Amino acid sequence: MNRIIKLDRETANKIAAGEVVERPLSVVKELIENAIDANSTSITVEIVNGGKSLIRVTDNGDGINKDDILIAFERHATSKIRKAEDIYKTNSLGFRGEALASIGSVSNIVLVTRNSEDKIGTKLTLSANKVVDKTNVGFNRGTTISVMDLFFNTPAREKFMKSSSSETAAISDIVNKLALSNKNIDFKYIVDKKNMFITKKENSLIESIFSIYSREISKNMIEIYSDTNSLKISGYISNVKLTKANRKMQIVFVNGRYIKSKEISEALRISYKTMIPSGRHPLCFIFIEINPSEIDVNIHPSKTEIKFNDDGLIKQEIYKTVRKALLENDLIPEIELKT
Ligand code: ADP
Ligand code: MG
């Protein structure tokens, strides 16, 4: 047993899949990112049973060229870069060419796609990346990819998945954030055949917050805005009547990407100090635009942490902007202002 052998392609893919596809939510994220990269203006996400039975993403984007359909499921197969240097230039969310190969190796897939250069669409059925069927079908431009029976051939991973409701909650969290941060795309989200929300490009941010979250949240929000030459801050913060026991609804995007930032949470804490009970946290949807050279984004795709070169400045600007908005809404008690 100590001889060295090279693993066959399927075994190698299955092992690699563990890195890209940890849970149903990683599949959802990869598929939505592919749809965004394909210049879609409309994306529908459907899940059944926490994504364990079905994850389907439909887009109206570029589609995949007829002759490229099979190679798309090979590892390191991508249309987005040609050489290593390109990764510094590409604006696309993916470029490693790993997602479809990884997802395909641990599920059953039906892909229907049509590229504008092709007269007819193609329907490809795969089981663990093996072709079951490939036929021509009539189809609009774009792509529908259905991922079924996730981890059916990797029982250890299958067991590792949480209950359908926790997997659904994790998926909803990421779909919500992607819908919020891609205002130029119509999103529709369907869970177990039930429509969860629709957002439209022409909707305002607060209308999308209402569609995605709730009336209660949207009606208790205060708009914030500031623009200095180094930093633009916009979005909404909650008034003092609406707080949560955790910080999960402190949602921050930097240059369009969802991130977690201790500095921003801290700036919010100080801004609301004495105005809300201790142990309670404000909600926010904050969009920050900053020169990319001023941040250090961990480039690992699953990481959301970010480092600001000048985190003092960020904290100060958030504090100033939030305080100003709270003040204008007459929510800061007089006594507090004098201190
Ligand atoms: P990557 O996104 O890193 O390039 P993927 O494995 O996710 O790798 O996808 C492989 C290729 O398949 C992509 O480069 C793209 O050309 C094509 N592709 C995948 N999904 C879509 C889609 N929804 N629309 C158009 N092309 C797609
Ligand atoms: Mg991709």
Judge whether 1 lies within some domain: no
Question: Whose Cα sits closest to atom 8 in ligand 1?
Answer: 97
Domain-located, residue 304: yes
183 and 220 in a single domain? The answer is no
3-state class of 258 per DSSP? Answer: strand
What's the token pair of residue 29?
Answer: 């994220």
- From residue 322, give the alpha-carbon distance in Å to each of 17, 92, 184, 234, 282: 43, 32, 26, 10, 11
Q: Does any domain span residue 3? A: no
Asked if 30 and 103 count as a contact pair (C-beta separation under 8 A), the reply is yes
Ligand nearest to the CA of 104: 1
**Ligand 1 center–CA 35 separation, angstroms:** 8
Confirm if 233 and 288 have CB atoms less than 8 A apart: yes
Residues with CB under 6 A from ligand 1: 30, 34-35, 37-38, 59, 61-64, 72, 77-80, 94-101, 143
* Structural domain contains residue 337: no
For residue 333, the model assigns a pLDDT of 57
Q: Are 222 and 236 in contact (CB under 8 A)?
A: yes
Angle at 90 between CA 86 and CA 91, to 5 degrees: 170
Structure tokens at 289: 């635009």
Q: Which ligand is nearest to the CA of 76?
A: 1
Domain contains 269? yes
Where is 165: in which H helix or E strand?
Answer: helix 164-181
Dist. CA 93 → ligand 2 center (Å) = 7
Who contacts 5 (Cβ-Cβ below 8 Å, separation ≥6)? none
Classify the C-alpha dihedral 249-245-222-319 as positive or negative.
Answer: negative
Whether 25 is in a domain gets the answer yes
Instruction: Give the distance (Å) from ligand 1 centre to CA of residue 38.
Output: 8
Neighbours of 156 (CB within 10 A): 8
Task: Tell which residue, 210, 182, 209, has the closest CA to residue 285.
Answer: 209
Residues 173 and 248 reside in one and the same domain: no
For ligand 1, atom 25, the nearest C-alpha belongs to 63
Q: What is the pLDDT, as a whole number, of residue 178? A: 96
Backbone region of residue 202 per phi and psi (left: phi > 0; alpha: psi in -120 to 50; beta: other values): alpha
Please indicate, yes or no, whether residues 130 and 258 belong to a single structural domain of this protein: no
- Look at ligand 1, atom 16, and give the residue with the nearest C-alpha: 79
Domain boundary among 143, 166, 199: 199
Rounded to 5 degrees, what angle do the CA atoms 218, 283, 291 make? 100
Do 251 and 162 fall into the same domain?
no
pLDDT in tens, the chain (339 residues): 678 888 888 888 777 776 778 899 999 999 999 999 999 999 999 999 999 999 999 999 999 999 999 999 988 888 877 887 776 666 777 777 889 999 999 999 999 999 999 999 999 999 999 999 999 999 999 999 999 999 999 998 888 899 999 999 999 999 999 999 999 999 999 999 999 999 999 999 999 999 999 999 999 999 999 999 889 999 999 999 999 999 999 999 998 889 888 899 999 999 998 899 999 999 999 999 998 888 876 655 556 778 888 989 999 999 999 999 998 886 655 445 444
What's 41's domain CATH number?
3.30.565.10
The beta strands (E) that lie in the chain are given as 42-48, 54-59, 108-114, 121-127, 130-137, 142-148, 186-191, 194-199, 221-228, 231-238, 243-244, 250-254, 257-259, 281-282, 284-290, 295-297, 306-308
Distance 199 CA to ligand 2 centre (A): 23
* Residues, CB within 5 angstroms of ligand 2 (ion): 34, 94, 99
Protein residue with its CA nearest to atom 19 in ligand 1? 34
CATH number at residue 246: 3.30.230.10
Q: How far is the CA of 72 from the centre of ligand 1 (A)?
A: 7
Q: What is the pLDDT of residue 219?
A: 95
Residue type, 145: I
Same-domain status, 62 and 148: yes
Q: Which atom, in ligand 1's list, is nearest to the CA of 92?
A: 2
Closest ligand 1 atom, residue 30 Cα: 7
Q: Kindly list the distances between the CA atom of residue 18 and the CA atoms of 12, 213, 281, in Å, as whole numbers in the listed order.
A: 10, 32, 35
Give the per-residue pLDDT at 8: 83
Decide if 204 is inside a domain.
no
Q: Which of 204, 203, 209, 233 is nearest to 221 (CA)?
A: 209
Residue 163 lies in domain: 9-199
Total domains in the fold of the chain: 2
- Helix locations, 191-310, DSSP H: 205-212, 215-219, 262-272
Rounded to an integer, what distance in angstroms lies between the CA atom of residue 294 and that of residue 246?
29
Cα separation of 109 and 36, whole Å?
20
